[in-house]
């Protein structure tokens, strides 16, 4: 998630510290400005306000961008049809559902679990809109320093909360593996411990994760920053 988003965010529930910049010299790479959009009329973290929430018009913007960008964001192909994925934070999904009428949301849900039967991209999906399969996850990257006073991702006095949804096409990210055992990418070792009374099992792997980049631009990802407010706070 962090490598696709290009930022650690502020969620204290992650197992890495807030100062985390990457693993094993494989640093997080910031999203380029041409693949980074904002909710509402915001154009940067510094001018985001509480009205710049997730809404259906953002999905329409993303589809238009994906089909005309250079390099073009390649869609997934499911049963001969071209699809994209929008992965939102739980709070962004809440805003989206409350920004559309009842009938709109019924239409969005029609394709979830129907046309997508058997395809993992539809598993647990919220629905589909304009050829974009909608998903949510609690670990989508969040921030708490947007708005007036924001200066950079490492130095800011802003106070607004925001989340970074990810619009994903094919080959959005890559995983590189190295040093795997003869039986696969993970090594596996079993030995007896505690004078033969306990079985100790160790598994290990060498790997790295990175967002796909072509000519210094994100190849299959668009970052979507929108304001959110915890509905239970």
| pLDDT tens-digit map of 97-121 | 988 887 788 778 776 655 555 678 8
pLDDT of residue 24: 86
The conformation of residue 35, written as its DSSP 8-state character, comes to G
Exposed / middle / buried, residue 88 (Cβ in 10 Å: 0-12, 13-18, 19+): buried
pLDDT of residue 177: 85
Residue 223 has pLDDT above 60, yes or no: yes
pLDDT of residue 6: 96
E-strand ranges in 90-197 read 127-129, 132-137, 142-146, 160-168, 173-178, 187-193
- Note whether 169 and 74 are within 8 A (CB): yes
pTM: 0.88
Tell me what percent of the residues of the chain surpass a pLDDT of 90: 71
Pairing mode of beta strands 81-89, 142-146: unpaired
| pLDDT tens-digit map of 147-157 | 999 999 988 99
pLDDT of residue 207: 86
Q: Greater confidence, 29 or 100?
A: 29
Cα–Cα distance, 16 to 226 (Å, whole number): 24
pLDDT of residue 120: 80
| pLDDT tens-digit map of 180-222 | 555 668 888 999 999 999 999 998 888 889 999 999 899 999 9
């Amino acid at each position: 998630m962090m490598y696709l988003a290009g930022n650690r965010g502020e969620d204290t529930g992650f197992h890495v510290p807030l100062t985390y910049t990457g693993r094993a010299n494989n640093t997080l790479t910031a999203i380029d400005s041409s693949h980074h959009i904002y909710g509402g009329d915001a154009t940067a973290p510094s001018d985001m306000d509480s009205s710049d929430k997730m809404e259906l018009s953002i999905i329409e913007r993303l589809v238009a961008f994906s089909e005309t960008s250079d390099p073009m964001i390649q869609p997934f192909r499911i049963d001969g049809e071209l699809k994209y994925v929008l992965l939102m934070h739980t709070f962004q999904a809440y805003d989206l559902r409350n920004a559309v009428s009842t009938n709109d949301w019924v239409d969005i849900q029609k394709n979830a679990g129907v046309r997508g039967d058997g395809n993992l991209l539809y598993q647990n999906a919220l629905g589909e809109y304009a050829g974009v399969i909608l998903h949510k996850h609690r670990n989508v990257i969040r921030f708490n320093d947007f708005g007036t006073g924001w200066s950079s991702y490492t130095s800011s006095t802003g106070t607004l909360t925001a989340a970074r949804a990810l619009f994903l096409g094919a080959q959005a990210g890559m995983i590189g593996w190295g040093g795997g055992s003869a039986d696969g990418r993970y090594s596996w070792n079993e030995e007896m411990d505690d004078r033969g009374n306990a079985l100790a099992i160790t598994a290990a792997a060498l790997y790295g994760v990175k967002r796909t980049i072509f000519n210094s631009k994100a190849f299959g990802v668009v970052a979507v920053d929108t304001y959110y407010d915890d509905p239970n706070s």
